[in-house]
Structure formats: C-alpha cells, structure tokens
Amino acid sequence: MGTVSIRTVTRWLSSSAVVAIVACTITERYYTPAPDQPRLTIDLLRDRGHNIVRAECQRLIGVRQSVTGVAHITVDVEADGEIRRAVIEHSSGDERMDEIFGGLAAQLKVDPPANMRGETIPGTIRIGYSCSPSAGTITVEGVTLTG
C-alpha cells in the first residue's frame, strides 16, 4: 500500500471584547501510491478488494449477521491518469477498511480526459464492502472527475 501522511492544522481565534483562544485540530490522512507496486485498473482494484474484504469479513461481522460500509474518497488525477493522492472524505465505518480502500485508490490508473494538459484534477470514487457469515464482496463506483 502507499504512504500514509497526516497533516495537522491548528487554528487560533480571538475576540477583542473577550479574549478567547480556541484551538481546533484538523487531521487529514492521505494515501500516495507505493512506487514498488503496479498501478491498478478499476477491475484489478475490484479483484484485489474482493480478496481483502473476504479476509476481513470475520473481523467485521463479529456477532452480527451482516455488515456493510461505503467510503467516499477524493483523488488527485495526473495528466497520464495515475492517481497521485487519495483522501478518505467519508468513512466506511471501519478504520481498517478505510486504510485498505485509501491504499487501493492511490494505486489506480484511469483514463484521463482528452483535454487534460498536464494539470492535476480532482475526482471522486466510492468503494464499499458487504459481509455476511458466508460471503464478502466489494463494490466500486469508478472515478468521477470533478475538475
């Protein structure tokens, strides 16, 4: 999987009438492609994801009969279609699955739009999982470019 980087920002607010200092910490976790791993198509991501979800289902289910989750991920797409960075914008409900999905999304290579001229454009992808005692599966909604 790719590198996970965490950026922390602290904001300070003050008022002239009453001095109030409020610290707010925002943490953003993002995933970058592992240079020693091949790029994935959506189909390869789906294949790898199926195997991983099946392996994780026993942990995810616990005492329940089934469990599902969907992660919403934003990606930065390079002119050649390679994903440069992936950020989990909405959690699937399981931190470990978010890490797996973020790492997989960062390894993607998609077809870039024909009019792209070297700039990086944003996109979104949704990856979900579903587990039952007898099965596990992944769903992938391909990259939608938003730029």
The pLDDT of residue 11 is above 80: no
Mean pLDDT to the nearest integer, 108-116: 83
Q: What is the rounded CA–CA span in Å between residue 2 and residue 109?
A: 14
Q: Buried b / exposed e across 51-79, counting CB within 10 Å, b at 16+?
A: ebbeebbeebeeeeeebebbbbbbbbbbe
pTM, two decimals, is: 0.79
Write down the H helix ranges in the chain: 42-61, 95-106
**SS3 at position 102:** helix
Q: What is the average pLDDT score of the chain?
A: 83
The pLDDT of residue 105 is above 90: yes
The pLDDT of residue 117 is above 80: no
Mean pLDDT to the nearest integer, 32-44: 94
The pLDDT of residue 113 is above 80: no
The pLDDT of residue 45 is above 90: yes
The predicted structure's pLDDT at residue 112: 79
The pLDDT of residue 8 is above 80: no
The pLDDT of residue 32 is above 60: yes
The predicted structure's pLDDT at residue 91: 96
Q: Which amino acid makes up residue 65?
A: Q
Lookup: tokens for 79: 């002119």
The pLDDT of residue 137 is above 80: yes
Q: What is the rounded CA–CA span in Å between residue 71 and residue 10?
A: 26
**Which residue bears the tokens 């998609």?**
110
Q: Tell me the pLDDT tens digit for each residue of 57-101.
A: 989 998 788 899 999 999 999 988 999 999 999 999 999 999 999
Burial (0-12, 13-18, 19+ Cβ within 10 Å), 124: middle
Q: What share of the chain is helix, strand, coil (3-state, %, to 5)?
A: 20, 45, 35
